[in-house]
Structure 1
């Protein structure tokens, strides 16, 4: 009887140990339990800021805790990027940024942050396609004709950008590289100023995001649209051919946006934020708002975003180094 009693007690004790210990080890701490900050490394009003302020309140409702947007502009996007990279890797500081992150170390000599090792990739949000545009006074009526004109008159045609080292210069330099042409760079203070310069005839060519406003310029015949640098035509601009259709199949450009976290953030948090952001992006009102600014939702796993980002990093670093581009 005593032996049976001891056996029963031992069995109960073993059950309690086995039953309690794995549960405490396997179950991650709940997230979030307090306010989450989304850092945007630009001033308010840009596309990244718009996305953060669209997604943030939806996440706050899902999580039951506030989500605040912190705009930290400066030195391009370096100030906000560096701030986010140095934050505690606990999921309470996230970074919502865009393709400029992949170019930052190569283009900004003051950058110390390692954008590959310094961040976990959470997920891609979406993309804005890129159009190759020209002032209506430019004689060429197609991309092939533009390339031919540029080859016949090296350095005569001009293109506008949002500043030396800005993303519009990078897109234009990639176009020049793929088309093997020489077009002179004319930098402006911002994308709006660059668009205005092209529309007014100060410069000839502009490689620009296909935002809602830019698409309206095309529809109103205020600018020539030679091609969209995407695999497929835009439903909103069905008459504008892709770069492949227009004779330059090697050129693919897009502005992409995504969510990052400081390196070392637990994988359970990375997965949760990824899934919750995807669910928010699938909401009808969110999709309608994104459609209005010309953005295509493009989500995936952290692994797919990680592979995509590293490819972008190598691609743009090679271009910047070979072209000798530096930021202002």
Structure 2
């Protein structure tokens, strides 16, 4: 038989546990409703001054104004851009540590055998940000003056043609690999430690070809004295370079490469917090200063339907599948 005092103690304990459970369940929404009450850290996988860093710092000011707290940009560099997402994936899921990353989020699973995170499972999606087109250039004295001549020369002399890139796993490497894949050729690829050195050697005549972002190539193209341009890598012509045809319209059907950027938070970040960050992102994308600066970089801010968690999720899933296929077929690896 149960002693009355024991029974009462048990009932009290059960009530206390129930009350504690209710309190625990209410903590998340309470914190979300007060969020943010301190600065937010926006992690960038690349060094200061690079395209992704420039974009992050542009967005940080209007996002901070919208949130009522500073957005602090922090560069976490290394391992081909995989250290930053690893850090964010393991961060506390309270919304105070978020990530901006380019299409490397989609290519990393195929480039690395042992990736410390899963881009499709370890993050909450905030939204897409912008697209940076790319262009295909050659040294100034390369023996071709249009894309048809380039194709003919490359196919006949593929053992003599060099193709530079900004490093193993860089988007410029993937763009070059896709170019070779669709032409059915294998060129000598030369990885550099960054886009700057690759561009310098192209202009100096040390390498033949380079596929790189418009943030770096447009000034060279408009100068017209240091390199030749054979096409843009997007599906449509660029408003900043209207006279330069796409590679797609010149015969590389379906060729569409742009360096898209997205914003992420650790898995399990409350929906209310994701919504607030997304709203701040969309405010920033409409900011006049941001729009003008992005236009100067010959880049495009995404449409409102893409600057959403669902828009980024769908795009990332499609890009993981697309680039996984290309990387497997070309045999590219970052290891």
Distance verdict in 2 for CA 1:218–1:89, change over 3 Å: same
Q: Deviations over 1:259-282 (max 9, x none)?
A: 111111122222221222111111
Q: Deviations over 1:144-193 (max 9, x none)?
A: 22112121223221110112222211110011112222221011111111
List gaps (5 residues or longer) in structure 1: 1-23
Alignment partner of 2:222 out of 216, 219, 231? 219
Alignment partner of 1:61 out of 59, 65, 68? 65
Q: Distance in 2 between matches of 1:64 and 1:216?
A: 37
Q: Distance in 2 between matches of 1:172 and 1:200?
A: 20
SS in 2 for 1:227: strand
Alignment partner of 1:267 out of 271, 281, 288? 271
What is aligned with 2:309? 302
User: Is 263-272 or 199-208 further displaced after alignment?
Assistant: 263-272
Alignment partner of 2:322 out of 307, 315, 328? 315
SS in 1 for 2:133: strand
Alignment partner of 1:115 out of 119, 125, 131? 119
Q: Deviations over 1:123-144 (max 9, x none)?
A: 1110111101111211122222
TM-score by length of 2: 0.86
1:192 aligns with 2:196: yes
1:37 aligns with 2:44: no
What is aligned with 2:7? none
Alignment partner of 1:207 out of 189, 195, 211? 211
TM-score by length of 1: 0.87
Offset at residue 322 of structure 1 (A): 2.6
User: In 1, are the aligned partners of 2:46 and 2:78 still within 8 Å (CA)?
Assistant: yes
Q: Distance in 2 between matches of 1:154 and 1:44?
A: 36
User: In 2, are the aligned partners of 1:127 and 1:256 still within 8 Å (CA)?
Assistant: yes
User: In 1, are the aligned partners of 2:62 and 2:283 still within 8 Å (CA)?
Assistant: no
Please show how residues 50-89 of structure 1 align to structure 2 within 5 Å: 50-89=54-93
Q: Distance in 1 between matches of 2:43 and 2:223?
A: 37
SS in 1 for 2:100: strand
What is aligned with 1:21? none
Please show how residues 120-199 of structure 1 align to structure 2 within 5 Å: 120-199=124-203
List gaps (5 residues or longer) in structure 2: 1-25
Q: Distance in 2 between matches of 1:125 and 1:104?
A: 19
User: In 2, are the aligned partners of 1:156 and 1:183 still within 8 Å (CA)?
Assistant: yes
Q: Distance in 1 between matches of 2:114 and 2:263?
A: 23
Q: Distance in 1 between matches of 2:78 and 2:68?
A: 32
Alignment partner of 2:258 out of 254, 275, 283? 254
Offset at residue 110 of structure 1 (A): 4.5
Offset at residue 311 of structure 1 (A): 0.9
Q: When the two structures are aligned, how many residues end up with a matched partner?
A: 304
Distance verdict in 2 for CA 1:196–1:26, change over 3 Å: closer
